[in-house]
Amino acid sequence: MVQPADLFLQPGEYFVADATLRLRTILGSCVAITLWHPRRFVGAMSHFLLADRPRQPGTQLDARYGDEALELMVRGLHREGVRAAECEAKIFGGGNMFPGKPLFSLQSVGTRNGEAARQLLADRGIPVRSEHLFGEGHRQVVFDVASGAVWVRQIPSTVPKP
């Protein structure tokens, strides 16, 4: 059996892939959404930084924003003949990268991102099969498109608490 190739997503990127790829990323307060079609073995993954932005008419979609990243993923899956509503979603990230700071002072970007991902998927009728959100520190995420499996490892923050 041929091992899938690895593709690393940087912040603000998304990718639609078939079973020949494994998608990887590292998240802090950012959030990754994976979408996987269990019969077609096609999936998509995004790594977004902020939930949304005010958009002006005519501006291009930007995967740095959750709502736009999901739209780009849905369009990419559609080009592959996959309806997003037939996919399973998983959500990761939204960590607090500054555990020594009171959350109210930041209204945690990570919390806003995670909650936005949940709502965006619910609004599109895409079922969330699992999630690994919030907490402290960053996460390493690997999405195996061949199986739909997603492995996540959370690494606690090394920022000293006051």
pLDDT at residue 103 tops 60: no
Read off the pTM: 0.92
**Mean of the per-residue pLDDT values for the chain?**
92
pLDDT of residue 56: 85
Is 60 exceeded by the pLDDT of residue 162?
A: no
Give the sheet arrangement for strand 88-93, strand by strand: 13-18, 42-48, 31-37, 88-93, 128-133
Whether 51 contacts 42, CB under 8 Å: no
pLDDT of residue 107: 61
Average pLDDT on 53-62 reads 91
Distance CA(37)–CA(85), nearest Å, equals 9
Cα 102 from chain centroid?
A: 25
> Per mean pLDDT, which range of 21-25, 101-105, 121-125, 144-148 is the poorest?
101-105
Nearest to 31 by CA among 71, 74, 77, 90: 90
Across the range 96-108, mean pLDDT stands at: 66
**pLDDT the model gives residue 69:** 98
Residues 6 or more apart whose Cβ sits within 8 Å of residue 101: none
